Amino acid sequence: MAAKKAPPARLRRPSGASARRPPGPDAPVDRPRAADAGSPSPARAPLRILVLSGPNLQLLGTREPEIYGVETLAAVHARLRARGRELGVQVTARQSNHEGTLCDWIGAARGKFDGLLLNGAAYTHTSLAIFDALKAVALPCVEVHLSNPEAREAYRHTSKLAAACVAKVSGFGADSYLLALDGLVRWLARRPR
C-alpha cells in the first residue's frame, strides 16, 4: 500500500511588519472561512476565481492568429486551472457571445466567487450593462485582453469596463489571462479582511 502524500501547506499570514508583504508568485493563497468563536486558527478555504470571456473568443486558435495567437480558448482555460492549482485557488472559466449571459454570470458570482477575470472582448468598448453588473456585485475584477487595445483601432481605446475593475492586463496574448490571475490572487492576499 502506497503512503499518502501530505496536502500542501497553506499560507498563514504572519503577524507584525512582515504581514504586509504579499506572498511570492508561487505561494498558495487562502481566504478565511467563518470560524467558531474563540478558535485560535480559523480553517481556510481556497479562493474562487471566475474567468469570463466574451464574444468570439470561442474562435481563438483560428481567428486572426497574427493578433490573437494560435492557442484555443479551451487550452487557455486548462492553463488557468493548472495555474490555479499551483496557487491553491479554484478557477472556473466560461465563455459566451451574449451580453445578457455574461451579466447573469457576473450577477450570480457574489457569494460564490472571490474575484473575476473578464475579457469582455468587443463588449469592453460598448457594454454599460456589463459595467453595471460589475459595479453591482462589487467583486474585484481584472480586465483582460489578448492584444493591446490602445495599440489598435481608435474605437478600441476606450473601455466601458475599466472603471469597475481593480486592474487591467493586456497585450501578452493568452499569457494575459495567467498574468491577470497571478495579479488578482496577490491583490486579494493583500486586501484587508
Active site residues: 68, 145
* 3-state SS, residue 15: coil
Q: Which residues contact 182 (CB under 8 A, 6 or more apart)?
A: 25, 83, 87
Handedness of CA 75, 160, 180, 189 (dihedral sign): negative
Distance CA 31, CA 40 (A): 16
Distance CA 88, CA 106 (A): 23
DSSP annotation of 46 reads E
**124 within 8 A of 145, measured Cβ to Cβ:** yes
Strands 44-46 and 30-32: antiparallel
**49 within 8 A of 113, measured Cβ to Cβ:** yes
Q: Which residues contact 192 (CB under 8 A, 6 or more apart)?
A: none
Closest listed residue to residue 181, CA positions, set 59, 86, 97, 69: 86
